[in-house]
Amino acid sequence: MLKRIVVFLITCLTFVWAMDMFQSVPEEKATLIQKGDAKRYCPNCGMDLVKFYKTSYVHEEHQYCSIHCLVEATKGVIPQKDVKVADTKNLGLIDAYQAFIVVGSSKPGTMTMNSQYAFSSEEDAKAFQSENGGRIVKFAEAYTIAQEDFPKDTAMIKAKREQNVYATGEKLYQNACETIDANRFATVAELKVSLSKSCRLESEGQYQAVALYLWDHKNVVVSQSEEKIVVPKDAKCPVCGMFVAKYPQWAAMIEAPEKKIYFDGVKDMMKYIFAQKKNFEKVYVSDYYKLKKIDARQAFFVIGANVYGPMGSELIPFANENEANAFMKDHNGKRVLSFSEIDEKTLKSL
């Protein structure tokens, strides 16, 4: 109950904060032009386009949260056509080349210290300028300014992510998500959308933090997850009902097409496989010494040893045959088996 109240409060605060941001608009006022599940997010940085609508730009069927992200996506080469920008006052998308853009006003910028807001009429731009300051320029100059600010803004964004976003994202990823390979996605926005299936998170900010953490550490996180079987906190062994994350050194896993199934030992996994009478293609076990994730079909299993797992006698996996043999001798083991040699009799003998 308390948790619910806290979640509710956080949700409310996020909501209030989002509506308080100058860039934000009510959802029904935002014109989102992208297609697909990720249409609501900036393909360059993953940020929510309703939240940052007033600074958003459209180019080649992509919608960016800011001119900063447009500059990054176009690699600093100003597009000669096909650019639209949100009209800060009327909220439609307008031809950027015709727009009057106020740069450096007192209103906050998106991904930049030097804010930019566009208007369809010079009169509207002047009214905004007299209230908030800044300078009125055309698109070409606005792009050049964003390009000049780019290194400084990028450093600022990086510092902000390193100070807090990544740590938050990492913690949430480890506690509330299944293993995700960020390399599978074309954009951070697509990755962010997929998190709704793999994670249980509570706010847009949490999704953004996990998405950025994974996207900016793509290769590191993947190699970590390849090394070990990463068990979600709430995964239960379907055979005995125990929480598998408590026994990481015994973790075994079946990667079925629709989901991953975790076990607190090879014995329970084999029981499951025999009961299902299915040939699972991707079956993994943890090397007893190194805890490395290994393909069960390549592993060597020691049976009858005096080393016990959470479910008692076990089939103890090793990547290396010599290590399996040495372990068998040291621990009174009976035999070393390959995966295909394990049958229902083996399980009964344990």
* Cα separation, 123 vs 87, whole angstroms: 13
* Cα separation, 209 vs 186, whole angstroms: 18
Q: Shortest distance, CB of residue 74 to Zn ion, whole angstroms?
A: 13
Q: Is 280 exposed, middle or buried (0-12, 13-18, 19+ CB in 10 A)?
A: middle
Place of tokens 């900063």: 68
Relative to beta strand 300-303, strand 293-295 is unpaired
Q: Which of 69, 83, 195, 229 binds Zn ion (CB under 5 A)?
A: 69
Q: Are 49 and 104 in contact (CB under 8 A)?
A: no
Q: Shortest distance, CB of residue 189 to Zn ion, whole angstroms?
A: 9
Q: Shortest distance, CB of residue 247 to Zn ion, whole angstroms?
A: 9
Q: Shortest distance, CB of residue 129 to Zn ion, whole angstroms?
A: 25
Q: Shortest distance, CB of residue 59 to Zn ion, whole angstroms?
A: 12
Place of tokens 């209030």: 16
Q: Shortest distance, CB of residue 35 to Zn ion, whole angstroms?
A: 18
Q: Which of 101, 142, 239, 315 binds Zn ion (CB under 5 A)?
A: 239
Query: Is 240 a residue that touches Zn ion (CB under 5 A)?
Result: yes
Site string for Zn ion, 156-195 (x = CB under 5 A): ----------------------------------------
Q: Shortest distance, CB of residue 161 to Zn ion, whole angstroms?
A: 13
Based on CB atoms, which residue is closest to Zn ion, 45 or 211? Answer: 45
Based on CB atoms, which residue is closest to Zn ion, 125 or 251? Answer: 251
For residue 243, count other CB atoms closer than 10 A to its CB: 16
Based on CB atoms, which residue is closest to Zn ion, 47 or 251? Answer: 47
Query: Is 23 a residue that touches Zn ion (CB under 5 A)?
Result: no
Query: Is 296 a residue that touches Zn ion (CB under 5 A)?
Result: no
Query: Is 45 a residue that touches Zn ion (CB under 5 A)?
Result: yes
Q: Strand, helix or coil at 253? A: strand
Compute φ and ψ for 273, nearest 5 degrees.
-60, -45
Based on CB atoms, which residue is closest to Zn ion, 239 or 261? Answer: 239
Query: Is 65 a residue that touches Zn ion (CB under 5 A)?
Result: yes
Q: Shortest distance, CB of residue 26 to Zn ion, whole angstroms?
A: 20
Query: Is 254 a residue that touches Zn ion (CB under 5 A)?
Result: no
Q: Which of 25, 30, 38, 42 binds Zn ion (CB under 5 A)?
A: 42
Query: Is 237 a residue that touches Zn ion (CB under 5 A)?
Result: yes
Based on CB atoms, which residue is closest to Zn ion, 267 or 328? Answer: 267
Q: Which amino acid, one-letter code, is at 263?
A: F
For residue 54, count other CB atoms closer than 10 A to its CB: 25
Q: Are 132 and 105 in contact (CB under 8 A)?
A: yes
For residue 261, count other CB atoms closer than 10 A to its CB: 21
Place of tokens 């079956």: 283
Place of tokens 């010599």: 322
Q: Shortest distance, CB of residue 156 to Zn ion, whole angstroms?
A: 14
* Cα separation, 283 vs 275, whole angstroms: 15
Query: Is 44 a residue that touches Zn ion (CB under 5 A)?
Result: yes
* Cα separation, 81 vs 74, whole angstroms: 12
Query: Is 264 a residue that touches Zn ion (CB under 5 A)?
Result: yes
For residue 310, count other CB atoms closer than 10 A to its CB: 18
Query: Is 105 a residue that touches Zn ion (CB under 5 A)?
Result: no
The residue among 272, 312, 318 whose CA lies nearest residue 294 is 318
| Binding residues vs Zn ion (CB under 5 A) | 42, 44-45, 47, 65, 69, 237, 239-240, 264, 268
